[in-house]
Amino acid sequence: MNLQESIRRIIKEETSLKNKLLNSIDDIGILKTARKVAGLKNLMKILEDKFLTRQIRIQTISEIVSDYTERQNEVWMVEDDIVITDNNEYFTRIELLNPNSAVAYVYEKPEFDEGDEYDIYYEDMDRKLLDRIFNEVIEYYIYKGY
């Protein structure tokens, strides 16, 4: 076997592994698939950019928040303020995460009286907001665990 054939075989095996892992995510979910490769951090390294699709980010947030909620018997409280709007009259920030949505609270200035609250579904979020939530959830799951 020459060098070129060896490289083709390795690339084919690598692509095959990534596709198998993506299929596994569809079949059994992110967390169970991650256990097959010794954790979420390893899964992210193997899948590279394919792991970071919008659909997989939403699925990851949903599974981790759902798992956390079941284990802790409480809702996920956002660790760092995720401010959505901040103007002279009010500011809005995300404080809680549910498996399918984030809960945003509106505070009126200057007293910071709590006003309305509303759900923002992950599917409806812009990329920047979704990325902030994804990063918080992943950081907590990988580095702090529960």
**Sequential DSSP letters for the chain:** --HHHHHHHHHHHHHHHHHHHHHHHHHH-HHHHHHHTTSHHHHHHHHGGGGG-HHHHHHHHHHHHHHHHHHHTSPEEEEEEEEEEE-SSEEEEEEEE-SSEEEEEEEETTTTEEEEEEEEEGGGS-HHHHHHHHHHHHHIIIII--
Average confidence score pLDDT of the chain: 83
Q: Which residue has the higher pLDDT, 74 or 1?
A: 74
> pTM of the full predicted structure?
0.75
Name which of 12-16, 33-37, 49-53, 63-67 the model is least confident about: 12-16
pLDDT of residue 11: 66
